[in-house]
Chain A
Amino acid sequence: MPSPSKPLSPRRRRFLQDTARMAGGCVAAGSLLAYLARDARALQAEALRPPGALPEENFLSACVRCGLCVRACPYDTLKLAELGMAAAATGTPYFTARETPCEMCDDIPCVAACPTGALDKGLTNIDDARMGIAVLVDQENCLNFLGLRCDVCYRVCPVIDEAISLELSHNARSGHHAIFAPTVHADRCTGCGVCEKACVLPEAAIKVLPARLARSSAAEHYRKGWEEKEAKGAPVVEGIIDLPDRLPGPGTDNLAAPGGFEPAFKLPGAGQ
């Protein structure tokens, strides 16, 4: 409390008023700016960052939005997000796989051009890039899943047989053909998007998604018993008795019925 004997100077009052007004205004404006800055971190799923890009939460403090990576890109894959286009934070580099995928240059010129390290110079082998992960999003329309031999996504993949392989299975529809299922292996997929670009369907059945959408994560506590067993070279639980498995058909270890266990009666619809 001011002492009554000493009147406060009007200049001091003026100063305090001005300061309070400024501080209040700055808190309001700053909150709005913080909202916009946080909001800008929402990257559209179709917008992929260039190779070597830092994780999105670090990228926006690192990228100065100069466009030197865009200039360095020999295939005009990279673009700068335009204001109001909402693909990515305004002015930051991105590409859309279905329009122009990343051609995975060996010398990675976009990373070399980045002045700030928003594209990490630690990326020296383009096969280690993780721009996203291809996911076969629609098995119902994928021609290979229908039993045809389209194979285009598999054929164009720059990391063929490692990032995408064809896994054979029985074609139950025809009964005597195989299904060559294009299968992405996330640990090798760079997310270049060549497969998405090449998909022959009007809307691609295989799409590159950011890892946060493409991947689940295994539960921490979950152990795969067969891996544990192999690592140990013996059953994980000691002293367990391996009881015989009773399986139908000949050649099993069914001791009671050498030559095979035959069920006493046949279930309707069961068997070949």
Chain B
Amino acid sequence: MSARTHDPVGREAIEVKGWFGAHRYLLLRRFSQVFFLVLFLLGPWLGLWIVQGTLAASLTLGILPLTDPFILLQGVVGGHRAELSALIGGLIVLVSYSLIGGRVYCAWVCPINPVTDAANWLHRRLDLPKGWQPMRSTRLWVLATVLIVSALTGTIAWEVINPITMLHRGLVFGMGFVWMMVAAIFLFDLIVSRHGWCGHVCPVGAFYGLVGHKSLLRVSAANRAACNNCMDCYAVCPENQVISPALTGKPGSTPLILSPDCTNCGRCIDVCAVDVFAFTHRFNDHINEPADPIPAQNPQAT
């Protein structure tokens, strides 16, 4: 660790790259989240029916069906053979996310992400203890439980409480008591558990993580030799267990962040003043040699 560790997160990046440079992917991500939401809202608000439906299933321009494959899977284990249009829609979504990274859905599309990001921002501001931290694999257990319950009850079980589709449907069709659900998630992430919902519990994220297990789009710590141990990437990363293997791996190990938990949010790229990270594809394991013969860091062998 260095003295830089105690700097406010991202201060150095802002000094070097400017505010916009240090928030590039965050802004792009917010733009993407708003974009996908507005696509769905243009119909009910302005009568421009580009996209009909919700995130669960939609029809774009009257021709392109898209279906949430996790909801479809629950329906199948619940005992329903879905029709072709839903299956095609599910397949399109499945293939897309298996290429660009399953959890890209979490960071770039999911409407709950801004809620939990806000909770985390406030959590950091108030310097709260990180609270209950169950294992990261908890969400996989929840995923398995949801599928078992769907099979036993013959329902799409997670849709009874899924805050993602509830919030989205609430915005597109009518909120009801969905605000309470959103507030509950916010408070859970703020007080009970840091990165609790998206990082530990949500089975939708777990599902998309599995979908993107071998996805092409990856963040690489190609320039890891330049790392100055400011720890800012660890501070902003919602799944910061994925960084270490790439950043502080043994010499010769891959610089790619290959964990399916990575959401490809790009905040590590934003917040790094020395540009250690960059987006690339999973076959590019090129490592930049240090310009300086003396490495700036002392990689720890694990």
Q: Which residues of A contact B (CB under 8 A)?
A: 18, 22-23, 25-26, 29-30, 33-34, 36-38, 40-41, 57-58, 60-68, 70-71, 79-80, 82-85, 89-91, 113-118, 121
Q: A61-B156, A67-B172 are in contact. Are A117 and B141 (CB under 8 A)?
A: no
Q: Are A65 and B157 in contact (CB under 8 A)?
A: no
Closest chain B CB from A90 CB (angstroms): 7
Is there a chain A Cβ closer than 8 Å to B301's Cβ? no
Chain A residues in 8 Å Cβ range of B175: 82-83
Interface string of B39-82 (1 = CB under 8 A from A): 00001000001001110111100000101100110110011111
B181 at the interface (CB under 8 A from A): yes
B214 to chain A: closest CB distance in Å?
26
Chain A residues, Cβ within 8 Å of B20: none
User: Which residues of B from 207 to 236 have beta carbons under 8 Å from A?
Assistant: none
Given contacts A64-B71, A65-B54, contact A58 B80 (CB under 8 A): yes
Q: Which residues of B contact A36 (CB under 8 A)?
A: 160-161
Measured CB to CB, the closest approach of chain B to A183, in angstroms, equals: 37
Q: Is the CB of B176 within 8 A of A65?
A: no
A23 to B141, CA, bound (A): 8
Determine the distance from Cα of A79 to Cα of B75 in the docked complex, in whole angstroms: 22
Which B residues lie within 8 Å of A64 (CB)?
56-57, 67-68, 71-72, 75, 86, 156, 159
**Does B166 contact A68, Cβ atoms closer than 8 Å?**
no
Find out whether the CB atom of A68 lies under 8 angstroms from the CB atom of B157.
Answer: no
A83, B161: Cα distance in complex, Å: 9
Contact with A116, one of B58, B75, B137, B146 (Cβ below 8 angstroms):
B75
CA of A64 to CA of B173 in the docked complex: distance in angstroms?
Answer: 15
Which of chain B's residues 113-170 have a Cβ closer than 8 Å to chain A?
Answer: 135, 137-138, 141-142, 144-146, 148-150, 152-161, 165-166, 169-170
Q: Which residue from chain B places its CB closest to the CB of A114 in the assembled complex?
A: B83
Report B247 CB to chain A, min CB distance, Å: 25
Question: In the assembled complex, which residues on chain A have CB atoms less than 8 Å from the CB atom of B83?
Answer: 114-117, 121
Return A86 CB to nearest CB of chain B, in Å: 10
B53 and A61 contact, CB distance less than 8 A = no
Report if A85-B176 is in contact (Cβ < 8 Å); known contacts: A30-B148, A65-B165, A117-B82: yes
Instruction: Give every chain A residue within 8 A of B82 (Cβ-Cβ).
Output: 62, 115-117
8 Å CB contact of A33 from B86, B141, B145: B145
Query: Chain A residues near B75 (CB, 8 Å)?
Result: 61-62, 64, 116
Question: CA–CA, A90 to B159, complex, Å?
Answer: 8
Cβ contact of A71, chosen from B52, B146, B148, cutoff 8 A: B52
Contact B153 A34 (CB under 8 A): yes
Residues of A within 8 A of B156 (CB): 60-61, 63-65
Please name the 7 residue pairs, one residue from A and one from B, whose CB atoms are nearest each other, closest first: A82-B176, A61-B78, A84-B177, A66-B57, A117-B83, A62-B80, A83-B176
Query: With the chains together, A114 CA to B85 CA distance in Å?
Result: 9
For A90, the chain B residues whose CB sits under 8 A away are 159-160, 166, 176
CB-based contact B67/A71 at 8 Å: no
If A64-B68, A66-B54, A117-B80 touch, whether A40 touches B177 (CB-CB below 8 Å) is: no
Q: How far is the CB of A162 from chain B (nearest CB, A)?
A: 31
Residues in B neighbouring A114, C-beta threshold 8 A: 83
Residues of A within 8 A of B86 (CB): 64, 115-117
Write out the residue numbers on chain B whose beta carbons fall within 8 Å of the beta carbon of A91: 56, 159, 165-166, 169
Determine if B153 and A37 form an interchain contact, defined as CB atoms under 8 angstroms apart: yes
Expressed in whole angstroms, the Cα–Cα distance for A38 and B80 within the complex equals 16
Task: Report A-chain residues with C-beta under 8 Å of the C-beta of B290.
Answer: none
Q: Is the CB of B146 within 8 A of A33?
A: yes
In the complex, A188→B172 CA distance in Å? 36
Residues in chain A near residue B43, CB distance under 8 A: 71
User: Which of A26, A58, A80 touches B154 (beta carbons < 8 Å)?
Assistant: A58
Partner of A26, one of B141, B159, B177: B141
Q: Contacting B152 at CB < 8 Å: which of A23, A25, A34, A117? A: A34
15 A-B pairs (CB sep. < 8 Å): A18-B135, A30-B145, A30-B149, A36-B160, A37-B157, A67-B54, A68-B58, A80-B169, A82-B173, A83-B166, A84-B176, A85-B176, A113-B59, A115-B67, A115-B82
Central interface residue in A60, A68, A91, A115, by most chain B CB within 10 Å: A115
Bound Cα distance from A181 to B174, whole angstroms: 41
**Which residue of A has the minimal Cβ distance to B135?**
A18
Which B residues are CB-close (under 8 A) to A26? 141-142, 144-145
Complexed CA–CA distance, A117 and B59 (Å): 15
Tell me which residues across on chain A come within 8 A of B181, comparing CB atoms: 83
A65 touches B56 (CB 8 A): yes
Distance to closest chain B CB from A41 (angstroms): 7
Let me know if A116 and B149 touch, CB within 8 A. Answer: no
Do A68 and B52 contact each other (CB < 8 Å), given the known contacts A33-B160, A83-B166? yes
Any A CB within 8 A of the CB of B89: yes
User: Nearest Cβ in chain A — how far from B29, in angstroms?
Assistant: 25
User: Is A68 touching B155 in the complex (CB atoms < 8 A)?
Assistant: no
A262 to B176, CA, bound (A): 74
- Does B169 contact A65, Cβ atoms closer than 8 Å? yes
Bound together, the chains give a CA A70 to CA B71 distance in angstroms of 19
